[in-house]
Amino acid sequence: MLHFARKHRDHQRLKAAGCPVSFVYLAWESATLPILRLQRRPDLPTDLSTRLTEFFDEQDRFTGRLPEDFYRLEQLVYGRDDFQLGDDAKRYVQQYAEDAATALRGQEISRQIKQSNGILPGLKVKLFPYQVDGVAFLAARGRALLADDMGLGKTLQAFKPPSERA
């Protein structure tokens, strides 16, 4: 794409002009953890620039809490023609929120199983701690691949009582 863009007759003029709006994007500066970054235009309105210091550090990295502060930022810039939130950044934050909700659901399921002393309705055996974790993992996600070694109780972990079967 860059090779094609460089051949465009207006490439130098467009490059010098820069992006017409300031925007937030997802930067993969690390192999494992993306960073939300702000690309500022030099003519960013002062009122908006001042408000953005609440969300971004001096290197224009997002410093807020995910997803709460990102959603506040989204409300702040909603409807502005001079600022955009990239689709990649929005998708990342949405997935982050979904993953956090799934983890909380798994913790609650695990807590409930442990409160029942490791016994699930419809079973007469007590689950081992690793099986409790497996059940919580499966139940929190709705679907998953369970691939324990042979003889570790995958059937028990995936068991659904007759009253809950569709």
* pTM summary value: 0.72
Looking at every residue in the chain, the average pLDDT score rounds to: 86
What's the pLDDT score for residue 165? 56
| Rounded Cα–Cα distance for residues 33 and 30 (Å) | 6
What value does the mean pLDDT take over residues 32-37? 93
Give the pairing of strands 22-27 and 83-85. parallel
User: 103-126, pLDDT tens digit by residue?
Assistant: 898 888 888 888 888 887 777 788
Between 40 and 120, the more confident residue is 40
